[in-house]
Amino acid sequence: MCRLKRSVIGGIAVLAAMLFASGALAAGIDSPVAIENIPNVVGLGVGMIPDYLGSDNYTVAAAPFFRWTLAGSERYLQLIATELSFNVLNHPNFILAPVLNYRPGRDDVDDDRVDKMRDIDDTADVGISAGYVWKNKSNPRHRFVTSLTFYGDAGDVYRGWLVQGGARYWYPVSKPIDLQIGVGATYGNSQYMDTYFGVDSRDSARSGLKKFEAGEGFRDVNAQLAAVFHFSMNWHVAAGVKYFALVSDASDSPIVDKRGDSNQFVYGLGVAYSW
């Protein structure tokens, strides 16, 4: 039974890396996911993500995943692509984890007019993630997970903060297959929103785009659909798609409304090994 649980979570882990972490490579398109069990697992996801958040051009990205669990404990260290977290709670349902995240900037993009705008430097986020996991006692593969993560800029680039929340429902449709559906949203303060979606006077003169100041508000709402296939006790493959609808000032920004698309997608395929 222990090995079966590990195989299940191994597959979930690679899906988390694929759908959540690969988005981080696109200037923070999403947050990490809290997983309700704590196996030792390593995985790699490969997928298609927007060239920048709001772009209508897509690029290939890889998302590594690693999780190491303290023996006899619910505490774990986890790396999802650019984000490192550590769950400090020794509890089967509640999760609380300090977060350190590398947030790539925006430069050398495919759109020629957006590329003329000033580059946005890479930065580091620090934050905290909290979550709750409901598990079916007779089958822990059947579960409902909620998470809320706060990020603050530690690198003096966007000088603000954002909050990402989500809920995910997992259902085992057969012995080797789990299906997942999920929803979520992201809210950013004015400094964050204006850094990534604003067009100041200098940017306007360089690119020809209209000046635009983005204010505090929701950045996106999102939904996802995914499947995990357990080929053995140790090897797992996952596939999925996540949809982001940019809203409010994020969708009204000229880099999205005029040069990109408010409908954003992340596609992925991944493999994981658990032990």
What is the structure's pLDDT at 26?
Answer: 41
In the 8-state DSSP scheme, what is residue 175? T
- Altogether, the residues listed in the chain come to a count of 275
Total number of domains in the chain: 1
3-class secondary structure, 217: strand
Q: Which of 62-71, 108-117, 165-174 has the lowest mean pLDDT?
A: 62-71
User: Could you give the residue ranges of the DSSP H alpha helices within 66-179?
Assistant: 112-115
Contact partners, residue 71, CB within 8 Å, separation at least 6: none
In the 8-state DSSP scheme, what is residue 232? S
**Stretch 147-164: mean pLDDT, rounded?**
96
What is the structure's pLDDT at 29?
Answer: 52
Cα gap 161→188, rounded to integer Å: 6
Which pLDDT tens digit goes with each residue over 163-205? 999 999 999 999 899 899 999 999 999 999 999 999 999 999 9
Exposed, middle or buried by CB within 10 Å (0-12, 13-18, 19+), for 201?
exposed
Which pLDDT tens digit goes with each residue over 1-42? 444 445 444 454 444 444 444 444 444 455 333 334 547 888
Q: What percent of the chain has pLDDT over 90?
A: 60
pLDDT at 136 over 70: yes
- 45, 82 contact by CB (below 8 A): no
Q: What is the CATH number of the domain that holds 159?
A: 2.40.160.40
Closest CA to 250 of 31, 117, 109, 53: 53
Residue owning tokens 């395929």: 269
Average pLDDT, the chain: 86
What is the structure's pLDDT at 203?
Answer: 97
Which amino acid is present at 71? A
Cα gap 176→207, rounded to integer Å: 51
Residue 54 pLDDT grade (very low, low, confident, very high; cuts 50, 70, 90):
very high
219 vs 141, higher pLDDT: 219
Which pLDDT tens digit goes with each residue over 78-93? 988 888 999 999 998 9
Q: Which domain holds residue 209?
A: 2-274
Residue owning tokens 């204006």: 194
- 254, 246 contact by CB (below 8 A): no
Residue 274 pLDDT grade (very low, low, confident, very high; cuts 50, 70, 90):
confident
Buried/exposed code over 121-132 (b: 16+ C-beta within 10 A; e: otherwise): eebbbebebbbb
Handedness of CA 173, 174, 175, 179 (dihedral sign): negative
pLDDT at 146 over 50: yes
132 vs 140, higher pLDDT: 132
pTM for the predicted model, two decimal places: 0.86
Residue 222 pLDDT grade (very low, low, confident, very high; cuts 50, 70, 90):
very high
Cα gap 14→22, rounded to integer Å: 11
Q: What percent of the chain has pLDDT over 70?
A: 86
